[in-house]
Structure 1
Amino acid sequence: MKKVLFATSALVLSAGFASAEVAVSGDGRMGMIYDGNDVQFSSRARVKFTMTGESDAGLSFGGSFRVDQENYSANEYRSAARGTAGQVWISGTYGKLSMGDVVSASEAAIGDLYEIGYTEGAFAGDIEEISYLTGDGENLDQGANILYEYGIEGFTFFASATDGSDTNLGSISPGANVDDELNASSDDVAYSLAAKYEAGNYNVGLGYGKHGDADEIVLGGEVTYDQFSVKGIYAKYSDRFTGELDAEEFDSTIGLAAAYQADALLVKGFWRQDKFKYDVAGDEKFDSFGIGADYDLGGGATLAGGIIDSDYLDDTVADLGVKFKF
């Protein structure tokens, strides 16, 4: 993968900076998606800026955001300038602190199931992603999230939180006093704590998250042996209601994923099951399956495709195309 680096004298200043640079990278994809009824063309291209530096005292710092995330219009709140897209960070002897649209402590320790397809799961609504309570796109009505991580002797500890302040201007009534409604409107602080242990070819993680009355406990682990890798995740939720009329409560998720690498070919698959509780209908389970393959064409190009069948979808869906890294 080639990157264009801008590290000129305009970016390397003598006033408090030991070094600084800005890297421009990008990604793109083009192909076809089958939604169960029709085949549609699908493509996109994105540019990403990654800024890094180091202070005279040895502190590392940086930030990153994509061009498509920087929309600062009056009705758009997914913006790097507002802290709800991209992220900035600072790290040193006592760990790393990140702020912005960051993942939660639980997700940082455990992650998701394996992505498949050239759209990396997007063609099926990213069903491989575990539904964590906070972080990674959640709680953005409270502005930037914060994530702290510290590692020592194979262990990494994580903590994340929101500030509990509702900054969603879209919820303000027409003609109302903005300051009055912002000060009167407040959400519960969402937070998460987690730990991860890595040794050789395996890792295990445990996370806890809470937002209002809802909380989660998530356990996950991954093992890699030669060309094979296997990952398992179990998430248990409490008092997590979806707002449906019949009091739908999200109870738990269990998922397994496996991958096999053979030279340029990578084959991946996953299964997950979500359990819900209903006041009237009782318990109900939703299963999702997916399998896909990536073939490395070299130079940052990959041919990829996937098939996913889920109880959340009306039909089996698939995609096939080429994705690029620049």
Structure 2
Amino acid sequence: MKKVLLTTTALVFTAGFAAAEGHSAASITISGEAIAGVKYIEDAAQETTQFLELDFGVSGKTVTDGGLEVGASFDLDLNSGGEAAPDDEEVYISGGGITLTLGDVGSADDSVIANIADIGFDGIGIDDTAEFFFDTTTQNIHVKGEFGAITAVATANMDETGTDASEDYGIAVNYDAGTFSVGAGFTNNADEAGLDEDIETFILGGSVTAGGADINLFFHTADADDFAESVSGYGASVSYPMGALTLVASVGATDLDDDDADFGVGASYDLGGGVSFAGGIGQVDNPFADDDGIMVADMGIKMKF
């Protein structure tokens, strides 16, 4: 799934910068996060490996005389393979509860629908198979409307390079009552994996807080003329905070004949200052092979600044 980077501020130029430029509401924010640790995959050529990833983001915003907020952002990511490149470039304009974003935007379903929480410092893949057709569309237009407890999102593609854009699109809506939320969506994924027909996916997701635990439930079903039958994925996750320690358990599965459930448990300990130590262990199965699942695990440090 995509990481949200611009959540923790490391450096903000506000009053001085704004006064110099003549925009009292203008600001630039630099933020980031990093993870580092070890991963284990049973029966892999190298079962235990080191992994690290650095993600930095830059965003800027200002407000027009008419009260519209406009802004832009991009990320710079670096992983263990030494690959670094700017991505997630976005420009937005917002007013009256409506936000229009252009660029490398997220899909409608991932914007508002609760899904299965993965476990570990980077994630060991408990949710991957169950969410195979979730957040897979590629769009560059994102429209979000916020109306009290209801949030609605629509996403679509527009040609950028002189060639036909894929006909991917999606719609989703979520109702948030505070102690619980529920969302539903529909996506159309064009030309996926060389198929002749589009893949249509219906998604349901919800979350509830009960007994001090945060519970997420997820279901989706995907269909296309090239499929012998529709494919459904579903799962649940539970997160239970106990002071600085948070325990997590997740399970995910599909209705494919050869797929066994993926499941695992993990924990995260908040060290303060945006730093936490996390790890998880579980079983992940190949959904297209009649075999037993393999054990996967990871352990490492996470930091936000």
* Residue of 133, 143, 148 corresponding to 1:148: 143
Distance 1:40 1:265, change over 3 A: same
CA displacement 1:256-291 (0-9 Å, x = unmatched): 111111111111111111234xxxxxx443421121
Aligned pair partner of 2:182 in 195, 204, 227: 204
Q: Distance in 2 between matches of 1:146 and 1:258?
A: 33
Distance 2:281 2:232 in 1: 24
1:234 and 2:219 are equivalent in the alignment: yes
* Aligned position for 2:276: 302
User: Which of the residues 2, 6, 11 maps onto 2:13?
Assistant: 6
| SS of residue matched to 2:77 | helix
| Residue of structure 2 in register with 1:130 after alignment | 131
Asked if structure 1 preserves the Cα contact closer than 8 Å seen for 2:15 and 2:24, the reply is no
CA distance in 2, matches of 1:272, 1:284: 14
* 1:266 equivalenced with 2:246 (yes/no): yes
Partner of 1:72: none
Kindly provide the CA deviation profile for residues 185-242 of structure 1, in whole angstroms up to 9, marking residues without a partner as x: x35411111111111300000101113422111011110125211111110111075x
Indicate yes or no: 2:60 matched with 1:54. no
Aligned equivalent of 1:73: none
CA–CA distance in 2 between the matches of 1:126 and 1:115?
Answer: 6
- Please give the root-mean-square deviation of Cα atoms over the aligned residues, in Å: 2.8
What is the match of residue 66 of structure 1?
75
- The equivalent of 1:325 in structure 2 is 304
Tell me if the contact between 1:209 and 1:215 (Cα under 8 Å) persists in the aligned partners.
yes
- Whole-Å separation in 2 of the counterparts to 1:19 and 1:166: 31
**Corresponding residue of 1:280:** none
TM-score normalised by L of structure 2: 0.80
Q: For 1:101 and 1:154, how far apart are their aligned partners in 2?
A: 26
Aligned match for 1:89, one of 92, 102, 112: 92
SS at match of 2:111: helix
Q: Secondary structure at the match of 1:316?
A: strand
Paired residue for 1:279? none
Structure 1 CA distance for aligned equivalents of residues 209 and 129 of structure 2? 19
Alpha carbons 2:54, 2:77 under 8 Å: kept? no
SS state at 1:19 partner: coil
Q: In the alignment, what sits opposite 1:173?
A: none
5+ residue gaps, structure 1? 70-75, 168-181, 242-246, 277-282
Match of 1:113 among 111, 116, 122: 116
Q: Distance in 2 between matches of 1:129 and 1:5?
A: 39
Name the CA shift for 1:5/1:35 in 2 (closer, same or farther; >3 Å): same
Taking structure 1 as the reference length, what is the TM-score of the superposition?
A: 0.76
Aligned mates of 1:41, 1:14 — CA distance in 2: 45
Q: Which residue of 1 aligns with 2:294?
A: 315
In the alignment, does 2:138 pair up with 1:159?
Answer: no
Q: Which residue of 1 aligns with 2:40?
A: 34
Measure how far apart 1:150 and its partner are.
1.0
| Aligned counterparts of 1:317 and 1:68: Cα–Cα separation in 2 | 25
Q: Relative to structure 1, is the Cα distance of residues 30 and 21 closer, same or farther in structure 2, using a 3 angstrom cutoff?
A: same
Q: Distance in 2 between matches of 1:67 and 1:272?
A: 31
- C-alpha distance 115-63 of structure 1, shift in aligned 2 (>3 A): farther
Q: 1:111 to 1:62 in 2, by over 3 A?
A: farther
CA drift at 1:10: 5.0
SS at match of 2:261: strand
CA distance in 2, matches of 1:250, 1:43: 37
Structure 2: which 5+ runs fail to align? Answer: 1-7, 191-197, 288-292
| Structure 1 pair 52–226 and aligned structure 2 pair: CA distance change class (3 A) | farther
The one-letter code sitting in structure 1 at the alignment partner of 2:131 is: I
Task: Report if the CA contact (8 A) 2:146-2:152 is conserved.
Answer: yes
Check the 8 A contact 1:112/1:128 in 2, yes or no: no
Instruction: Name the SS of the counterpart of 2:66 in structure 1.
Output: coil
For the structure 1 residues 134 and 307, does the alpha-carbon distance in structure 2 shift closer, same or farther, using more than 3 Å as the test?
closer
